Amino acid sequence: MREIKLNLRPLIKQLEVAMRRGETQEFLPSAYRSTFKGRGLEFEGFRQYLSGMDDARDIDWKSSLRSRDLLVRILREERNLSVFILFHVGDSMLYASTPKLKCEFGAELVATLAYGMLNVGDRVGLCMFTDKVVKLVPPGSGMRHFYFITRVLSDPKNYGGKFDLDHVLKFCVGYLRKGSLLFVVSDFLGLGKDWQRLFSMSALKFDLTAFVVRDPRDMVLPAENAQLLVGDPYSDRQLLIDTAGIHEEYENAATEQLIELTDTFVKTNSDYIVLFTDKEFLFPVLKFFERRRSRLK
């Protein structure tokens, strides 16, 4: 198994530079803000009506009469949503046929999501899990909280172990309040028999989104015929296989599992996105937010 390399500092620097330059229209915080709406609008004050720019229907006539000037109300979106990220860090996430392990890719994804959420004023919590809760960061706000999350994500001791999504979903049902945003980052491989029932229960209580992280080898074998030593990440079992003649069977089984997975997401009214470790995640995530925003209009 390859050594875990979790240096998030270059990513953090990149995020900070992008925000300082004001690249928010194409960047994650604005896309996230417009996709996951706050709980309502708060009255912030008045400003002068701008002819040609403001809608005349927005004029506050009572205040305008008192001030003898045309005024419109300034409304600010009430944020402070509660967001909780479940990050699967079991042994199957410690695999790579590309330069990045699935857990390294996932850690960068989690850090980027947290940065965008915290920048719009929401509270973000994190649970790194295997078949148990490995590390729990209660929801918090502000940049100090973001840097604490990145330190937790960067600790190699928090990675490795078995996988039990059922256990952590039961934990969330008792731990989180109804209506919380729940993001699950995992490869969703090696799921238990009862996972669909528990996932459905969670989707009824939370606004649930699945980020499916896959390595290309999770879906297809190498094109060339070869003998490969494969192992079960959750046991000591190993098997020497000859890839000749099984490419199609392997790909069909992997595709069938992914279809079954995404069908469950659709049936439970959960959002999902499938990401591969050999490609950048930012643009697909932005497009995903855009699709969700269009669907919910």
Contact indicator for 273, 288 with CB cutoff of 8 Å: yes
Spatial contact of 209 and 182, defined as CB atoms under 8 Å apart: yes
Which of the residue ranges 9-13, 93-97, 182-186 would you say has the lowest mean pLDDT?
A: 9-13
Amino acid at the residue 89: V
User: Which has more confidence, 221 or 160?
Assistant: 160
- Quickly state the pLDDT bin for 37 (edges 50, 70, 90): low
264/223: higher pLDDT:
264
0.85 exceeded by pTM: no
Residue percentage of the chain with pLDDT more than 90:
54
Lowest-confidence range among 105-119, 224-238, 239-253?
224-238
Percentage with pLDDT > 70 across the chain = 84
pLDDT digit string (tens) for 166-188? 999 999 999 999 989 999 999 99
Please compute the mean of the pLDDT values over residues 118-142 and round it to a whole number. 95
pLDDT over threshold 70, residue 43? no
For residue 126, give the nearest of 190, 82, 65, 74 by alpha carbon: 82
Rounded to the nearest integer, the mean pLDDT of the chain is: 85
Q: Report pLDDT for 161.
A: 94
Give the CATH fold of the 9-23+79-295 domain. Rossmann fold (3.40.50)
At position 51, the amino acid (one-letter code) is S
Spell out the domain ranges in the chain: 9-23+79-295
What Å distances lie between residue 55 and 42, 49, 59, 60, 62, CA to CA? 19, 9, 8, 11, 17
